[in-house]
Amino acid sequence: MAQAQKITPRAKDFSEWYGDVIMQAQLADYSPVRGCMVIRPHGYGIWELMQRALDDLIKATGHKNAYFPLFIPMSFLAKEAEHVEGFAKEVALVTHTRLRATGKTGKDAIAIDPTSELEEPLVVRPTSETIIYAMFAKWIQSYRDLPLLMNQWANVVRWELRTRLFLRTTEFLWQEGHTAHADEAGAEREARTILDGVYRKFAEEWMAMPVITGVKTESEKFAGALRTYAIEALMQDNKALQAGTSHNLGQNFAKAFTVQYQTAAGGLEYVWNTSWGVTTRLIGGLIMTHSDDNGLVAPPKLAPVQVVIVPIWKTDEERSQVSGVGSQVKADLEKLGVRVELDLRDTMKPGAKYFEWEALGVPVRLEIGPRDLASGQVVLARRTGGKGPVPMQGVTTSVTKALDEIQAALFAAAKERREKNSTRGVTKTQFIELMQLASGGGFAYGGFCGSATCEAEIKEKTGATIRVLPDPEFRSKDVPRNCMWCGAPSIAEAVWAQAY
Ligand SMILES: [Zn+2]
């Protein structure tokens, strides 16, 4: 158990466990710059698979990829009042463009060249609405140019004080979609298409992570948006993770950047914008949804290695026999598009290899030993539990079937866990108790009066926030009549949780 012991059990300290899983699975590491992270190949492999699936879904809904600059003139951020308020506290600025050698030694060997000060500082993009809509203003003239549907894959910087690998880092990777529409209905349809048809679909079908959808309250919405929709997932410590957001920006940015179009009738109108994004935070969500005390559990669709073949031998003759069969099985699986590794290292015992591949989250392991071969079988072990012989004949079918079953079982288990930790129709007393539980409060459904004061007081007293006002599919059968906190008439059911 040498490997597994390096991971703190979830029940002991969830936060330590999370860090240990990342280190053992070699997903990421801390960088020399505080708050930034290095994404290691195994972690980046997951991101690449996420990107590929999301990119396909985004393109299938009519969007094209483009790229906009990292630097944004500082004055651009000032143009939309709410937006500047929302991001001012966390932007990185470029004020100079040169260093000079001083002739001294050590850390004094270079200094900022004061003559290189920029006339207008540049903001390192915290998000790209401002620079993209400045360009949209040039490109959109008539109703024939609409809708304009774009996406970019990029990095952004938000100067965070409290950071955590994948979940909250100063620099992170994401996609940000930006669209312009002729009317409100077009923008609204777009914001919902992305939320339901891209983000929810991706979370549930690829990540095997069930989500609830809904709209954010005024105090939780994106700075500068008319409405923000979100997908929210419940992690194993019963905290919520906002996993993706889709904003109907209304005409706020169009007015700030004068993005206008000529209507068919010859009039001049402002466009309606949307923006939407998901980030490398999703990897944190994947870890906290499925992984266990032995390390990462990766859903097969997003596992960089889906199958590992571990041959077992004692003699050279056995080695050549089992590795020959292993290579053949590997080739056969690769033909089916399965991502597979053959572990022929002779510096490690099979047991140590198992622990290592388990920590990496590989869904299926095939053990091939001389005795198995003699009886025409191999041993198939699932990362999520269960191990037994399968016939050598048709082993590829057994593997692909197991991968499909694991994918489905992970989703079902996560959904069951979420439902078990959702409380409907909470009263104030119940709610306070829930949010004090050491095991975490989960999702609490209750009536909400719509008051920001009430929201703020709840946050201060319990640390919980409204994750969403849920869509009809997720609402309780009994419509709440009163705000669970203040007792005033309820305007909507809300889902509260402590959140990342
Ligand atoms: Zn209230």
Distance (Å) from CA 454 to ligand 1 centroid:
5
Distance (Å) from CA 498 to ligand 1 centroid:
18
pLDDT bracket for residue 5 (50, 70, 90): low
Q: What pTM, to 2 d.p., does this model score?
A: 0.96
Lowest pLDDT segment from 1-10, 94-103, 333-342, 459-468? 1-10
Distance (Å) from CA 325 to ligand 1 centroid:
67
pLDDT in tens, 254-305: 999 999 999 999 999 999 999 999 999 999 999 999 999 999 999 999 999 9
pLDDT in tens, 112-142: 999 999 999 999 999 999 999 999 999 999 9
Distance (Å) from CA 290 to ligand 1 centroid:
35
Name the residue type at position 346. Answer: D
Distance (Å) from CA 230 to ligand 1 centroid:
22
Distance (Å) from CA 471 to ligand 1 centroid:
20
In whole angstroms, how large is the CA radius of gyration of the chain? 26
pLDDT in tens, 459-498: 999 999 999 999 999 999 999 999 999 999 999 999 999 9
Say what the pLDDT of residue 1 is: 41
Distance (Å) from CA 448 to ligand 1 centroid:
6
Looking at beta carbons, which pairs linking 21-29 to residues 24 or more positions away fall under 8 Å? 21/287, 21/291, 21/295, 21/296, 21/359, 22/165, 22/166, 22/287, 24/295, 24/296, 24/359, 25/295, 25/296, 25/359, 25/360, 25/361, 26/360, 27/165, 27/166, 27/283, 27/287, 27/296, 28/165, 28/166
Distance (Å) from CA 231 to ligand 1 centroid:
24
Distance (Å) from CA 486 to ligand 1 centroid:
4
Q: Which two tokens stand for residue 70?
A: 């990292």
Distance (Å) from CA 468 to ligand 1 centroid:
15
